[in-house]
């Protein structure tokens, strides 16, 4: 009996391969990682005492590093148990709860027709490839060379050229004996009742073959060579072979890159064909692209079948942001434990091709390393330009965010998103209360006007601001007086001044640990504004970054006064290690120590506020035993706060650190 590839793919997708293999082996507890769907066992095909048989649900494959056997669900059953292929399919279909297809002469006929159409598409692909090497393809070859593509890359992706003639491909296929009905069914010609004579769909275009998940050519994308063409890119129309919303360009090759030993760990979705190809040539083989339209739900599900957290890469301009936000809306209803998205935003005016053309893959790798989780994109979308200067506006933001996360179908994930939103709103609104931030009320924006906003340069040429630090519950009066948990302060603490001014005086520290340093959320409102401007200036200065250039840029943005105040504060405390005279290696070591202390204080703050929130919940539930446990835990945290205050290592002093650092060799103050 012949099975369609769609049926086999469906039952493979529904049944994890570990469920098939796990009925015949015992998983090794030490090497197996269930959360990553990664399983190890002693090989059932040969005797061994240590597990070398590897099974991975994400790939739907098994492999033994001892005897070399490998395969899928069906191969495992036919090889190990001697089942016929039909019997193996029956067993997996039963596990999937899917009935076996009944013999259907029409379905079998359609499958044969599909195979025939794929043969026609293969002939068309070869025709386009040959045309690229002719005299008429010279302009197309020159364009591909200008884009930096090598001959090997052009051959790998089977790029070609469609001649200007209205009938070049049609006449070629007809000469090979292909009936006009098959040419039309492949979408290779424009035809219809109102068109007397059909003609080639693709003319004077560079041709990009689009492959199925089984490496069969099912469609084409064509880039116009003429500047005045109606459409710069043109895709095949919908056919028996091709449904645009279900296909990703380069999917099969990218999936193999994930399955290879030591390969990539996730799929990266970029905008177009040339982005995928340029990344491949730079050594990044795990990129895919939607076919000229916004990402569809089916394409997203296709990626999730391959990798739990794909990365969507968008331009950093307004259009890129809008595309990212549409993807957020598309994904939210479908996320679940272990299944989500990350978002990487390119610098303004840059596409992946620009990043890798001159400096290789490193600039693109840095963009990927800064990819944001879905939760942060939800926050940025709803809050980045919102006004929070009145209680009504803050309530409006809160209501909108609650509505946004309500679409998440998975109850546990929805609950965690709701908590994440509460944490972020609490931290945000702390800075908007009367008496906090600058004297006279919270003021946002570069103008310093009275309208409070949550701004940033997300997609504006610089790096987005780091995530707002989470805060939970209410803060006790005693802790509220401590520098550890105060809200936005009118004056920077010495602790924060050290962290900020060291970077101003030694900006090269950002090159090594940007993500961790950039994510600092200062309690002082003025210092936080300085920090946002600093991160933007660092991104804009690029290779021209130096202490002098950075200070000049910050001074021009109106931060000269706070810079001078920070410098005076540091010098009064004799913390020379944070000044420009410190040796780079000394500044680096002291900064790491200061950052570690800062993170410890933040962790303690979050722990305290989480416990206070849990106490409130237990009180509402009238759970006396739970309340007692939480009060004891809260007491332990309180003792830790007191211990830290007594040591004066973190709270408003850095006493331990200042005792260790050396002053300048000259002894100057």
Q: Which pLDDT band holds residue 372 (cuts at 50, 70, 90)? A: very high
Q: Are 109 and 60 contained in the same domain? A: no
Q: Are 612 and 634 in contact (CB under 8 A)?
A: yes
DSSP 346-365: PPTT--HHHHHHHHTTHHHH
Distances in Å between the alpha carbon of 453 and those of 19, 388, 393, 574?
52, 6, 10, 37
Count up the domains in the chain and report the number.
3
Q: Closest by alpha carbon to 636, among 600, 607, 595?
A: 607
pLDDT recorded at residue 108 = 59
Beta bridge partners of 211: 217
In a domain, 300, yes or no: no
Half-sphere exposure of 96 (CA within 13 A, CB side): 21
Q: Are 88 and 139 contained in the same domain? A: no
pLDDT recorded at residue 235 = 92
**Average of pLDDT values for 418-428?**
89
Distances in Å between the alpha carbon of 508 and those of 359, 406, 545?
20, 43, 8
Which one has a higher pLDDT value, 357 or 392?
A: 392
Q: Are 119 and 71 contained in the same domain? A: no
The percentage of the chain sitting over the pLDDT mark of 70, rounded to a whole number, equals: 82
Which one has a higher pLDDT value, 638 or 152?
A: 152
Task: Return d(Cα 560, Cα 558) in angstroms, integer.
Answer: 6
* Total Cβ atoms within 10 A of residue 453: 18
Task: Return d(Cα 502, Cα 582) in angstroms, integer.
Answer: 9
In a domain, 372, yes or no: no
Token representation of residue 37: 């769907």
Helix (H) or strand (E) holding 287: strand 287-288
Lowest mean pLDDT among 10-24, 34-48, 123-137: 34-48
Predicted confidence (pLDDT) at residue 471 exceeds the cutoff of 50 = no
Task: Return d(Cα 244, Cα 121) in angstroms, integer.
Answer: 16
Question: b/e string for 8-30 if b means 16 or more Cβ within 10 A?
Answer: beebbeebbbbebbeeebebeee
Q: Are 451 and 387 in contact (CB under 8 A)?
A: yes
Task: Give residue for tokens 């989470």.
Answer: 470
pLDDT recorded at residue 156 = 95
Q: Are 85 and 203 contained in the same domain? A: no
Q: Are 520 and 601 in contact (CB under 8 A)?
A: no
Q: Are 65 and 115 contained in the same domain? A: no
H runs (alpha helix) in 513-559:
514-518, 525-541, 547-556
DSSP state, 62? E
Number of H helices, E strands in the chain: 28, 15
Residue 157: which CATH number? 3.90.980.10
Task: Return d(Cα 456, Cα 383) in angstroms, integer.
Answer: 10
By CB atoms closer than 10 A (0-12, 13-18, 19+), residue 414 is: middle
pLDDT recorded at residue 667 = 38
Give the dihedral sign, CA 473/477/478/481. Answer: positive
pLDDT in tens, 588-608: 888 888 887 777 776 777 677
Q: Which pLDDT band holds residue 409 (cuts at 50, 70, 90)? A: very high
Q: Are 54 and 159 contained in the same domain? A: no
DSSP 454-480: ----TTTTSPPPPPPPP--S---HHHH
3-class DSSP state of 509: helix
Which one has a higher pLDDT value, 493 or 363?
A: 363
Which one has a higher pLDDT value, 300 or 479?
A: 300
In a domain, 47, yes or no: yes
Which one has a higher pLDDT value, 17 or 461?
A: 17
Q: Closest by alpha carbon to 16, among 41, 43, 42, 34?
A: 34
Q: Are 41 and 134 contained in the same domain? A: no
Of 205, 222, 242, the last residue of a domain is 242
Q: Which pLDDT band holds residue 273 (cuts at 50, 70, 90)? A: very high
pLDDT recorded at residue 632 = 78
Q: Are 53 and 41 in contact (CB under 8 A)?
A: yes
* Domain that residue 71 falls in: 5-96
**Average of pLDDT values for 281-300?**
90
Which one has a higher pLDDT value, 591 or 386?
A: 591
Beta bridge partners of 453: 387
Q: Are 113 and 89 contained in the same domain? A: no
pLDDT recorded at residue 618 = 72
H runs (alpha helix) in 133-175:
138-146, 151-156, 168-175
Of 207, 242, 277, the last residue of a domain is 242
Q: Which pLDDT band holds residue 611 (cuts at 50, 70, 90)? A: confident
Instruction: Find the distance separating the first CA and the last CA of the chain, reported in whole Å.
Output: 89
Predicted confidence (pLDDT) at residue 260 exceeds the cutoff of 70 = no
Predicted confidence (pLDDT) at residue 631 exceeds the cutoff of 60 = yes
Residue 264 phi, psi dihedral angles, 5° rounding = -70, 160
**Helices 297-306 + 318-331 axis angle, to 10:** 70
Residue 50: which CATH number? 3.90.580.10
Cβ within 8 Å of residue 620, ≥6 positions away? none
In a domain, 542, yes or no: yes
Task: Return d(Cα 632, Cα 443) in angstroms, integer.
Answer: 40
pLDDT recorded at residue 465 = 35
Beta strand spans in 73-187 (E): 160-162
Lowest mean pLDDT among 56-70, 121-135, 533-547: 533-547
Q: Which pLDDT band holds residue 285 (cuts at 50, 70, 90)? A: very high
Token representation of residue 585: 């290696």
Beta bridge partners of 220: 209
pLDDT recorded at residue 154 = 96
The percentage of the chain sitting over the pLDDT mark of 90, rounded to a whole number, equals: 36
Q: Are 618 and 542 contained in the same domain? A: yes
Q: Closest by alpha carbon to 464, among 602, 372, 349, 351?
A: 372
Which one has a higher pLDDT value, 507 or 440?
A: 507
For the sheet containing 205-211, what is the strand order? 160-162, 205-211, 217-224, 233-235
Give this prediction's pTM.
0.57
**Average of pLDDT values for 439-464?**
37
Q: Are 508 and 500 in contact (CB under 8 A)?
A: no
Task: Return d(Cα 292, Cα 557) in angstroms, integer.
Answer: 40
pLDDT recorded at residue 445 = 35
pLDDT recorded at residue 385 = 74
Task: Return d(Cα 651, Cα 648) in angstroms, integer.
Answer: 6
pLDDT recorded at residue 135 = 95
Predicted confidence (pLDDT) at residue 105 exceeds the cutoff of 50 = yes
Q: Are 594 and 660 contained in the same domain? A: yes
Predicted confidence (pLDDT) at residue 12 exceeds the cutoff of 80 = yes
Q: Which pLDDT band holds residue 16 (cuts at 50, 70, 90)? A: very high
* Total Cβ atoms within 10 A of residue 479: 19
pLDDT recorded at residue 665 = 38
Which one has a higher pLDDT value, 587 or 669?
A: 587
Q: Are 288 and 213 in contact (CB under 8 A)?
A: no
How many Å is the maximal CA-CA distance in the chain? 95
Cα 423 to chain centroid, rounded:
22
Q: Closest by alpha carbon to 60, among 307, 373, 298?
A: 307
Q: Which pLDDT band holds residue 215 (cuts at 50, 70, 90)? A: confident
Distances in Å between the alpha carbon of 544 and those of 400, 548, 555?
42, 10, 17
Task: Return d(Cα 221, Cα 240) in angstroms, integer.
Answer: 17
Q: Are 499 and 595 contained in the same domain? A: yes
Predicted confidence (pLDDT) at residue 456 exceeds the cutoff of 70 = no
Of 182, 217, 242, the last residue of a domain is 242
pLDDT recorded at residue 279 = 94
Q: Angle at CA 490, nearest 5°, toward 487 and 491?
A: 110
pLDDT recorded at residue 111 = 62
Q: Angle at CA 142, nearest 5°, toward 140 and 147?
A: 95
In a domain, 390, yes or no: no
Lowest mean pLDDT among 78-87, 119-128, 410-419, 435-444: 435-444
In a domain, 346, yes or no: no
Q: Which pLDDT band holds residue 438 (cuts at 50, 70, 90)? A: very low
pLDDT in tens, 164-176: 999 999 999 999 9
In a domain, 392, yes or no: no
Q: Closest by alpha carbon to 207, among 217, 215, 198, 216?
A: 217
In a domain, 525, yes or no: yes
Distances in Å between the alpha carbon of 290 and those of 2, 243, 607, 655?
31, 12, 43, 56
Q: Are 557 and 574 contained in the same domain? A: yes
Task: Return d(Cα 444, Cα 494) in angstroms, integer.
Answer: 24
pLDDT recorded at residue 150 = 93
């Amino acid at each position: 009996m012949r099975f369609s590839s769609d049926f086999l793919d469906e039952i493979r997708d529904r049944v994890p391969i570990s469920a098939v293999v796990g009925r015949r082996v015992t998983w090794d507890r030490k090497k197996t990682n269930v959360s990553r769907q990664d399983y190890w066992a002693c090989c059932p095909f040969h005797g061994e005492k240590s597990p070398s048989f590897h099974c991975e649900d994400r790939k739907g494959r098994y492999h033994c590093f001892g005897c070399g056997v490998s395969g899928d669900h069906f191969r495992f059953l036919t090889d190990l148990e001697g089942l016929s292929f039909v019997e193996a399919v029956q067993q997996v279909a039963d596990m999937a709860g899917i009935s076996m297809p009944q013999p259907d002469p029409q379905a079998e006929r359609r499958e044969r027709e599909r195979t025939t159409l794929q043969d026609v598409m293969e002939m068309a692909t070869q025709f386009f490839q040959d045309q690229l090497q002719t005299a008429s393809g010279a302009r197309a070859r020159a364009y591909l060379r200008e884009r930096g593509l090598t001959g090997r890359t052009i051959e790998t992706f089977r790029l070609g050229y469609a001649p200007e003639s209205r009938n070049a491909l049609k006449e070629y296929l007809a000469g090979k004996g292909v009936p006009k009905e098959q040419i039309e069914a492949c979408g290779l010609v424009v035809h219809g009742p109102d068109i007397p004579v059909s003609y080639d769909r693709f003319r004077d275009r560079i041709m990009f073959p689009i492959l199925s998940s089984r490496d069969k050519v099912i469609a084409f994308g064509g880039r116009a060579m003429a500047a005045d063409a109606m459409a710069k890119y043109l895709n095949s129309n919908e056919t028996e072979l091709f449904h645009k919303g279900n296909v990703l360009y380069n999917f099969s090759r990218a999936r193999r890159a994930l399955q290879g030993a030591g390969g990539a760990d996730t799929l990266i979705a970029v905008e177009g064909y040339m982005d995928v190809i340029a990344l491949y040539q730079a050594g990044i083989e795990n990129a895919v692209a939607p076919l000229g339209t916004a990402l569809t739900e089916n394409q997203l599900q296709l990626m999730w079948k391959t990798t739990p957290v794909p990365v969507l890469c968008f331009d950093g301009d307004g259009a890129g942001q809008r595309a990212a936000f549409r993807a957020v809306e598309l994904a939210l209803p479908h996320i679940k434990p272990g299944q989500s998205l990350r978002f990487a935003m390119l610098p303004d005016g840059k596409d992946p091709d620009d990043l890798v053309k001159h400096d290789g893959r490193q600039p693109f790798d840095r963009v990927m390393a800064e990819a944001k989780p879905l939760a942060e994109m939800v926050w940025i979308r709803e809050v980045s330009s919102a006004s929070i200067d009145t209680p009504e506006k803050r309530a409006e933001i809160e209501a909108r965010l609650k509505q946004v996360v309500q679409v998440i179908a998975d109850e546990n994930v929805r609950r965690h998103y709701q908590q994440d939103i509460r944490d972020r709103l609490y931290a945000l609104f702390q800075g908007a209360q009367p008496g906090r931030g600058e004297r006279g009320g919270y003021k946002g924006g570069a103008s310093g006007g009275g309208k409070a906003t949550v701004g940033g340069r997300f997609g504006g040429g610089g790096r987005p601001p780091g995530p707002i630090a989470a805060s939970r519950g209410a803060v006790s009066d005693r802790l509220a007086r401590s520098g550890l948990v105060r809200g936005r302060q009118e004056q920077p603490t010495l602790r924060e001044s050290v962290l900020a001014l060291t970077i101003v005086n030694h900006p090269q520290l950002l090159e090594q640990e940007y993500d961790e340093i950039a994510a600092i959320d200062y309690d002082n409102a003025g210092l936080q504004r300085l920090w946002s401007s600093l991160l933007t200036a660092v991104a804009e200065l690029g290779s021209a970054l130096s202490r002098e250039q950075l200070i000049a840029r910050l001074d021009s943005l109106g931060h000269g006064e706070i810079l001078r105040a920070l410098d005076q504060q540091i010098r009064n405390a004799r913390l020379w290690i944070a000044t420009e005279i410190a040796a780079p290696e000394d500044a680096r070591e002291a900064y790491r120590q200061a950052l570690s202390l800062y993170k410890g204080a933040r962790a303690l703050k979050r722990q305290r506020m989480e416990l206070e929130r849990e106490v409130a919940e237990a009180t509402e539930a009238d759970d006396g035993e739970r309340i007692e446990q939480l009060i004891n835990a809260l007491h332990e945290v309180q003792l830790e706060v007191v211990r830290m205050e007594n040591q004066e290592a973190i709270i408003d002093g850095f006493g331990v650190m200042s005792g260790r650092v050396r002053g300048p060799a000259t002894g100057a103050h």
